[in-house]
Amino acid sequence: MSKQQPTILVVNDDGITAPGIKALMETVQQLGRVVVVAPDSPQSGMGHAITIGKPLRLDRVELYDGVEMYKCSGTPVDCVKLAVNRIFRGKKPDLCVSGINHGLNNSINVLYSGTMSAAVEGAIEGIPSIGFSLDDYTLQANFKPCLQYVRQIAEQVLQRGLPSGTLLNVNFPAGDNLKGIKVCRQAHGKWAEEFDERMDPHKRPYYWLTGEFQLNDQGQDTDVWALDNNYASVVPVQFDMTAHHAISVLNSWGL
Amino acid sequence: MSKQQPTILVVNDDGITAPGIKALMETVQQLGRVVVVAPDSPQSGMGHAITIGKPLRLDRVELYDGVEMYKCSGTPVDCVKLAVNRIFRGKKPDLCVSGINHGLNNSINVLYSGTMSAAVEGAIEGIPSIGFSLDDYTLQANFKPCLQYVRQIAEQVLQRGLPSGTLLNVNFPAGDNLKGIKVCRQAHGKWAEEFDERMDPHKRPYYWLTGEFQLNDQGQDTDVWALDNNYASVVPVQFDMTAHHAISVLNSWGL
């Protein structure tokens, strides 16, 4: 750690008033100077969306004593972009933490998650970045049992950095029986959608997205396995989406 | 190709009235039975966003003679989910093509792009999927020079399939000097944001996202290099975001 106090950007996708971001902010405050930039409304499932067709608001708010906080009208990724460009102004933070999300972001959920996309954007900016999520969707989620691990992982990343082009996806099981941490890969899985069709008062149909997670992976080295066995899962994530192993296959096609 | 005519799902992020989706639809109609499901408004930059907090509309439209078309109030990924669940109903299409996007989706843009995220969602559903983009943002974009390549690539994917867990990101340079196709990797690059700050009539600031693409990659095996040299770039993309090479690094931390 540098002798100067490190600066830490805290973001999320559940919105600036979510209990999860308060728990995360209070935990990393022990490690450095914190700046919070979070959406002014819930942005779950926003993935890596950015706001192109309309302008953004970024306003200072005073929610907790002595904490520099801003609410943003955009997506989680917009929050990171605005933080880097308008608040830190080129002097990048030493760490970007996102969450703690109310709900898991393991397996394929890394793609849909605004929490994780904010952390991905931090990593694209060259900032060591971590997304944290807890297996509890409720406002009453108990973050306490995982906070010592949040602190430990954040501290390690501040000290050691992360391999170039990577970030961390950290998920916690609910409850206080946490057995420790497992470094994992993303489990193969997908959502099987079941749209709930309803009729509006004008007899026109509309659809609610709903569905069930399907695990297609029996590996014991996955995030799903770790969480099922009461471990916190830590998956290193990259934003190079190239399927390098498929390049030779395609070259053999003679396109 | 199976003896039955293949079914082809056509999606995009520029919206159902964009010239790019018309060009794509007309091209793949030569290969099978087409169903178009596209957003009812532009959804550029939506990334892998899905709609959770509000319901979705999906309505049949008649834009072009004899083509089964639907407009959807959601994101490009919502379009794919609704198509699979409500239109194809379990009998998945043989191919999913997305685009042709008005504007490039090379390098890091694969993450922000609604066009590419729709193709990623197709691949998650197990459907051979391809995203197509042209380096021309305008409504007047000339898609003609790339259509023979669109057809050729779509035909090959229908015949051969794609390696498990992968899809294709195909980008075309503008103009009619196309020299051929290069199979590439995603170039390392990022957007350097420059938010344009303005004042509203009530003296409150607002921000427009703008910026410049920064290439951090001198490789001649990248999509950026191919496009700069008048080749169409074909990048195999995967949705396993695990940085497998970083797992051993993290294990050495003793978390």
Q: DSSP string spanning A221-244?
A: SBHHHHHHTTPEEEEEEES--B-G
Domains, chain B, with CATH or none: 7-186+219-251 (3.40.1210.10)
Phi, psi of B30 (to 5 degrees): -70, -10
- Asked whether the predicted pLDDT for residue A57 surpasses 90, the reply is yes
Which residues in chain A are contacts of B247 at CB distance < 8 A? 183-185, 236
- Asked whether the predicted pLDDT for residue B65 surpasses 90, the reply is no
Residue B148 — very low, low, confident or very high, per pLDDT cuts 50/70/90? very high
Closest CA relative to residue B120, chosen from B170, B171, B82, B165: B165
* A217 annotated as a binding-site residue: no
Catalogue the E-assigned strands of A111-204.
Answer: 129-134, 166-172, 181-183, 189-193, 196-199
Nearest to B153 among A111, A244, A255 (CB): A255
Q: Calculate mean pLDDT across residues A41-54.
A: 94
Six-digit token pair at A23? Answer: 């728990």
Residue carrying structure tokens 């192109």:
A52
Taking an 8 Å cut-off on Cβ atoms, the answer to whether A250 and B244 are in contact is no
Six-digit token pair at B116? Answer: 């590419």
- Asked whether the predicted pLDDT for residue A113 surpasses 80, the reply is yes
B184 close to B104: Cβ distance less than 8 angstroms: no
Q: Mark which residues 163-182 of B lie under 8 Å from A by CB.
A: 163, 165-166, 168, 181
How far is Cα A18 from Cα B22, in angstroms, rounded to an integer? 43
Q: What ipTM does this complex have?
A: 0.95
Helices (H) and strands (E) in chain A, counts: 7, 13
Nearest to A163 among B56, B58, B249 (CB): B249
Distances A157 to A76, A134, A136, A145 between C-alpha atoms, Å: 21, 20, 25, 20
Phi, psi of A193 (to 5 degrees): -80, 145
* B13 annotated as a binding-site residue: yes
Q: Calculate mean pLDDT across residues B15-37.
A: 97
- Asked whether the predicted pLDDT for residue B171 surpasses 80, the reply is yes
Mean pLDDT of chain B, nearest integer = 96
Q: Calculate mean pLDDT across residues A155-159.
A: 98
Substitution target in A111, A158, A202 with the highest count of B β-carbons within 10 Å is A111
